[in-house]
């Protein structure tokens, strides 16, 4: 039976992991598909999964009563969606909505956290890779806050 | 415009042929020379000093087609006294022009390479002549990729032209905005996020960057992470320019005068200067 291993192994977030680590992750993963407009994550809900995007576009959104939904970031093919699954209290901080047909691999967070606890070398590798994603997002958020293109500079 | 007869400090006269509103705070002027004068050829990346009579003179990059320089085209943002007055000009009004001045984008040097253009906000205007020139000589180049970031969807400059370039099979265009409502179907995130996903050969790439300095520093860093040699990265600088010919010192940045030695620099020549807090 064909497994998700070759797809996972080629994804930029996973590429370079030891084969035994990829095998461990395959055991926690499943293929998922989201239609345009479908919500993948909802703020405040339990972060039970995270997603490795294969194709499509996902917008991260935050709601405010006066401004309605504001899009704060776009994830695309090659990106990883969600890191709240790794940090207590394991709740999503944003909404995420598919903007077009999106295919991804969902990883069961509880399953993966358990495997990371049992095999700290896997946990360390994933933490490093997620830290890299978070570093990029933090840099991006800082530049967004600076409002570089504002005409009031 | 002719600068040689009366000298580079004397503006020649041009007539406003058309004023086009681009976004809520940017506009494009189309200028035709008055009194039978000729338009000087310019190189992509150069600028003119535009004189709005009664208000003053500002440096504005030329954003038209270097292979077809008539009319003379400038896009700018109404942000100071002079550019706000410039935005109020009407068809038939006169304006003073000195130039073209400054260094050019390395369009010839980039032949054979993939070309990656990274623009932020109004920084797309000085890069547009590069696009025109490369498209006019398309076979001489590898991939042509434009990465454009701006504030919001309503701040997107040259929107129709971006759509037209995007529809071509020989050019890739990626647009992102820093903030948006959910009505925007495109990308949200800073322009640096587009770099890791753009498909170019880092070792055979010439990159040209134009936008706010902070943006250019981070873009250069991302290009470096992709493996683009810093000697293949070029950036356009902006300072308060006055004379345009390296005499007055208003635009001095370290040992260079941006009006004369720039505005386009090889990034490895200015990297250290960009990191100095004092200048």
Domain boundaries, chain B: 12-101, 114-236
Q: Please count the residue pairs, one from chain A and one from chain B, whose beta carbons lie less than 8 angstroms apart.
A: 80
Q: What is the pLDDT of residue B6?
A: 63
Cα–Cα distance, B278 to A111 (Å, whole number): 53
More confident of the two residues A70 and B205: B205
CB contact under 8 A, B178 and A70: no
B180 — contact with chain A (CB < 8 Å)? yes
Q: What does pTM read for this prediction?
A: 0.91
Mean pLDDT of B167-194: 93
pLDDT band at B157 (very low <50, low <70, confident <90, very high): very high
Three-state SS at B95: strand
Cα–Cα distance, A109 to A41 (Å, whole number): 14
B192 — contact with chain A (CB < 8 Å)? yes
Domain hosting A35: range is 5-145
Q: Which strand (E) or helix (H) includes residue B33?
A: strand B26-33
Cα–Cα distance, B240 to B81 (Å, whole number): 14
Considering its fold, how many domains does chain A have in total? 1
Asked if the model's pLDDT at residue A152 lies above 90, the reply is no
Three-state SS at A109: helix
Asked if the model's pLDDT at residue B2 lies above 50, the reply is no
B122 — contact with chain A (CB < 8 Å)? yes
Closest residue in B to A61 (Cα) is: B182
Q: What is the pLDDT of residue A1?
A: 59
Q: What is the CA radius of gyration of chain B?
A: 18
Mean pLDDT of B265-273: 92
At B85-98, the pLDDT tens digits run 999 999 999 999 99
CATH, residue A23: 2.60.120.10
Residues whose CB falls within 8 Å of the CB of residue B96, separated by 6 or more in sequence, listed in order? B11, B12, B13, B14, B49, B50, B51, B52, B53, B57
B193 — contact with chain A (CB < 8 Å)? yes
DSSP letter string, B250-270: TTEETTEEHHHH-SEEEHHHH
A57 phi/psi in degrees, rounded to 5: -140, 130
0.90 surpassed by complex ipTM: no
Q: What is the pLDDT of residue A107?
A: 95
Of B155, B186, B192, the CB nearest to A149: B155
| CATH class assigned to B114-236 | alpha beta
Cα–Cα distance, B157 to B123 (Å, whole number): 9
Asked if the model's pLDDT at residue B3 lies above 60, the reply is no
For residue A25, tell me if it sits in a domain.
yes
Taken as a whole, chain A contains a residue count of 153
Mean pLDDT of B108-118: 97
At A84-127, the pLDDT tens digits run 998 899 999 999 999 999 999 999 999 999 999 999 999 999 99
Task: Give yes or no for a contact between B206 and B113, defined as CB atoms under 8 angstroms apart.
Answer: yes
- CATH superfamily for B12-101 is Translation factors (2.40.30.10)
Three-state SS at B135: helix
A69 — contact with chain B (CB < 8 Å)? yes
Q: What percent of chain A has pLDDT over 90?
A: 83
B266, burial (CB in 10 Å: exposed 0-12, middle 13-18, buried 19+): middle
CB contact under 8 A, B182 and A68: yes
Shortest Cα–Cα distance, B189 to chain A (Å):
5
Mean pLDDT of B254-263: 92
């Amino acid at each position: 039976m064909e497994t998700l291993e070759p797809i996972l192994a080629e994804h930029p977030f996973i590429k370079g992991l030891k084969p035994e680590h990829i095998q461990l992750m395959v055991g926690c993963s499943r293929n998922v598909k989201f239609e345009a407009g479908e919500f993948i994550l909802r703020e405040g809900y339990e972060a039970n999964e995270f997603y490795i995007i294969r194709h499509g576009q996902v917008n991260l959104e935050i709601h405010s009563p006066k401004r309605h939904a504001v899009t704060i970031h776009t994830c695309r093919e090659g990106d990883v969606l969600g890191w709240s699954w790794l940090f207590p209290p394991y709740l999503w901080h944003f909404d995420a909505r598919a903007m077009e047909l999106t295919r991804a691999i969902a990883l069961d967070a509880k399953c993966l956290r358990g495997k990371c606890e049992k095999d700290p070398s896997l946990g360390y590798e994933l933490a490093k890779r997620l830290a890299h994603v978070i570093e990029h997002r933090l840099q991006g958020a800082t530049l967004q806050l600076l409002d570089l293109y504002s005409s009031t500079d | 415009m002719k600068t040689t007869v009366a000298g580079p400090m004397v503006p020649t006269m041009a007539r406003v042929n058309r004023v086009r509103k681009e976004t809520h705070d940017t506009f494009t002027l189309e200028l035709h020379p008055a009194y039978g004068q000729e338009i000087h050829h310019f190189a992509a990346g150069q600028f003119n000093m535009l004189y709005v009579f009664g208000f003053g003179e500002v440096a504005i990059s030329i954003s038209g087609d270097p292979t077809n320089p008539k009319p003379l085209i400038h896009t700018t943002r109404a942000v100071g006294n002079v550019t706000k007055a410039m935005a109020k000009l009407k068809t038939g009004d006169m304006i003073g022009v000195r130039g073209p001045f400054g260094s050019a984008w390395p369009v010839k040097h980039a032949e054979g390479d993939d070309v990656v253009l990274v623009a932020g906000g109004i920084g797309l205007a000085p890069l547009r002549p590069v696009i025109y020139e490369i498209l006019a000589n398309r076979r001489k180049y590898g991939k042509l990729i434009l990465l454009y970031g701006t504030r919001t969807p309503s701040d997107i400059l040259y929107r129709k032209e971006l759509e037209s370039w995007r529809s071509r099979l020989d050019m890739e265009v990626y647009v992102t905005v820093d903030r948006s409502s959910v009505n925007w179907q495109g990308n949200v995130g800073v322009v640096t996020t587009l770099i890791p996903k753009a498909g170019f050969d880092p070792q055979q790439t010439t990159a040209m960057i134009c936008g706010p300095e902070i943006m250019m520093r981070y873009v250069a860093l991302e290009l470096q992470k992709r493996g683009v040699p810093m000697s293949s990265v070029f950036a356009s600088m902006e300072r308060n320019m006055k004379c345009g010919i390296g005499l007055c010192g208003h635009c001095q940045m370290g040992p260079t005068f941006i009006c004369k030695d720039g505005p386009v620099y090889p990034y490895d020549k200015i990297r250290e200067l960009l990191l100095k807090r004092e200048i």
